[in-house]
Amino acid sequence: MLTVQAIAASIGSGEMRWEGEFRGDGLLLRLGAPLQPLEAVPAEVDLADQASIDALYQSPIRDWQTFTLEPARLVLCQASEPLRLGPRLCGIIGTLSHLTRVGLMTHLSSLLVLPGWDGYVTLELFNAGPSPLRLRCGMPVARLAILPMDGPVRDIALAHPFYGHSALLGSKYADEFSR
């Protein structure tokens, strides 16, 4: 894991872009906009059918101040600051432990931010606790540790078909894998 001094050097050299805050030896991720709730649909979601996946998502809320996240509910939220990682850097997202202890999870399983990322990270906010949680736009929720890649890396332009598309918060699984 890179130290805050090594991260600052990467920013200074242009290998990385980050205009937000640091927390320890990582980047502090805050809630931004848009925020996009998921809703239950009456039919089974077919993961090979993009329209079936898209039916899960309510319209994005672009101008929000507070949002109540009910227990066992998931909402997607863009981080407040953009991030650019060079081809030799990756990141790992971890929820702030204070929030985990009340049931908030910021990433269910997609912890890795791949090399070459350029845009806003989408956070997957899940309430695993017994009570509704009030979210506030701008609140700090997670930390991103930066790790160096060891060895050759593939062409970052080909790494992910949705890089740089900050309007896409929801899953594009079928679009990517059902071709």
Active site residues: 124
CA–CA gap between residue 161 and residue 27 (Å, rounded) = 25
- Residue in the structure block whose two tokens are 């998921």: 38
Q: What is the dihedral of CA 140, 141, 143, 149, to 10 degrees?
A: -120
CA–CA gap between residue 179 and residue 176 (Å, rounded) = 7
Q: Comparing C-alpha atoms, which of 132, 140, 50 is closest to residue 95? A: 140
Calculate the alpha carbon distances from 67 to 26, 42, 132 in Å: 26, 24, 10
